Chain A
Amino acid sequence: MGLSVKDKEIVVPGEELAQGMDYLPSYGTFRDGETIVAGRLGMVSAESRIIKLIPLAGKYLPKTNDTIIGRVFDVTMSGWMIDINSAYSAMLGVKDAVPEFVARGTDLTKYFSFGDYLVTRIINVTSKNFVDLTLKGPGLKKLGEGRIIHVSPHKVPRIIGKQGSMISMIKDSTNCRIVIGQNGIGWVQGEPEDELVAIQAIRKVEDESHTSGLTERIKEFLDRNKRQ
């Protein structure tokens, strides 16, 4: 009876997490008779009776209301197909992308064409993993010049920080505009030297995401590399 592992412990697939019916299996876990078992690699979160796993590895899984960055890889009759760094591509319909009326048969490349990067929000994910996107909302737009970077989707919360503390610190120090999508694609735009510093800082957060006192070290790193 009770928990077999500690909170925040790393578990591998098939590991026993808890015994008995007092606990409920949630994301990444399943019940086998009386036992709750890990269904993937992850970190245990057992704050209440509900046991779930926080994934530490794996491809991005589309989730409704995530703000993500995607690349246009196909233009169809009714919208655009977007590569969202996941196992599945997403669809951006004309109605969700362009405010004006678009007559049928219009060449949609005049709005977005191949290779364009867009900041979009997921409005719906079906059980078959069809993903619907929208461009209507604050901060959602086509990205202009700048640099695209790829980070691990599981490190994105750390890069953004509590209420965006980490990312705004990097933004303020480097005078760059930065957008990090939940899917692990980021966009940085500023003076070329500043862009480099910002990217280095983001990489540093990604590499050292597990250590404590990271905010101070990033601050120190940014101060050291600040251009006068």
Chain B
Amino acid sequence: MIKMELRKDGRRFDEMRTIEARAGVVKNADGSALFRIGDTVAYAAVYGPRELYPKFLQDPTKGILRCRYNMMPFSGAGDRVKPGPSRRSTEISLVIEKALLPVLSLEEFPNAVVDVFIDLPQTDAGTRCAGICAASIALADAGIAMKDLVSAVSTGHVNGQVVVDLTYDEESAEGEVADIPVAFMPRTGKLTLLQMDGEIGKEQLMHSLELVRKACRQIYEIQKAALKEKYTFNGESDEE
């Protein structure tokens, strides 16, 4: 095993790809966001809280969160992605929903629903993490009661070298690879998502979780800045 100084795309092992985040990109939505990490681009649009029909889906004790994750047909690296829900996108939708639920104060709008639509026009691995980051900005932008934001990024190892934010090339590299998407609540430092593809040793796992914690803090600052940028001018009003 050769220890390289830099990764194939020139990044350090604990370095993420370039990140861009913006709030309020979809005019018609109640809240929306763009989150770009390298060549992975995620749009999230939030509608609601609004009335939920059919009525039997309503929960009188709390509101309901619905997420839809969707890769656009032209988004992949090669083949066309078949549009519409698939086994993979249904699972990721559910996983994103579970990652966002712990921060939402859904009891504030019983019987209602919040819809989150995540669309990816361009993908290069790390889509569920980008989707979670975008969705959490969009939910805050929609003014929904939340206890925290959620920041997510992937970690893992490529042939024994622990890295954060894997690209598609790294994920599909020959040899032993582990891809671990992680989502954090930055304030409490609690995990809301931890999945793994591949195999990893205990020490490597602990090391990668340490790296990803630091990376998520950086993402959190970017998310925060995106939201503040949109609203800062509303700051000084002299009404009432």
The interface of chain A, by Cβ under 8 A from chain B, is 8-10, 12-16, 28, 30, 37, 39-43, 55-59, 87-89, 128-129, 157-158, 161-162, 209-212
Q: Which of B110, B140, B238 contacts A41 (CB 8 A)?
A: B140
Q: Contacts A13-B146, A14-B148, A59-B49 hold; do A40 and B140 have CB atoms under 8 A apart?
A: yes
Verify B143–A58 contact, CB threshold 8 A. yes
Distance of A45 from chain B, by nearest CB (Å): 11
Verify A13–B103 contact, CB threshold 8 A. yes
Q: Which of B109, B235, B238 contacts A129 (CB 8 A)?
A: B109
Since A40-B143, A42-B143, A58-B144 are in contact, a sample of 15 more A-B pairs with Cβ atoms closer than 8 Å, ordered by chain A residue number, is: A9-B235, A10-B235, A14-B149, A39-B147, A40-B145, A43-B235, A56-B143, A57-B142, A58-B142, A59-B48, A128-B60, A128-B110, A158-B239, A210-B236, A210-B237
Distance of A105 from chain B, by nearest CB (Å): 26
Question: Which residues in chain B, 125-175, are within 8 Å of chain A measured between CB atoms?
Answer: 140-149
Q: Which of B50, B60, B224, B231 has the most CB of A within 10 A?
A: B231
Residue of A with least CB distance to B113: A87
Q: Which of A14, A87, A158 contacts B50 (CB 8 A)?
A: A87
Residue of A with least CB distance to B146: A13
Distance of A74 from chain B, by nearest CB (Å): 12
Question: How far is A64 from B49 in the complex, measured between Cα atoms in Å?
Answer: 19
In the complex, which residues of chain A have a beta carbon less than 8 angstroms from the beta carbon of B105?
39
Question: How far is A107 from B219 in the complex, measured between Cα atoms in Å?
Answer: 59
Residue of A with least CB distance to B60: A128
Question: How far is A89 from B111 in the complex, measured between Cα atoms in Å?
Answer: 11
> Would you mind naming 13 contact pairs between A and B with Cβ atoms under 8 Å apart?
A9-B235, A14-B147, A14-B148, A39-B146, A41-B231, A42-B143, A43-B235, A57-B143, A87-B112, A157-B240, A210-B234, A210-B236, A212-B236
Q: Contacts A39-B105, A41-B143, A162-B239 hold; do A13 and B110 have CB atoms under 8 A apart?
A: no
Question: Which residues in chain B, 215-240, are within 8 Å of chain A measured between CB atoms?
Answer: 223-224, 227-228, 231-240
Verify A129–B111 contact, CB threshold 8 A. yes
Question: How far is A9 from B237 in the complex, measured between Cα atoms in Å?
Answer: 12
In the complex, which residues of chain A have a beta carbon less than 8 angstroms from the beta carbon of B228?
10, 12
Verify A39–B237 contact, CB threshold 8 A. no
Verify B145–A39 contact, CB threshold 8 A. yes
Question: How far is A58 from B111 in the complex, measured between Cα atoms in Å?
Answer: 17
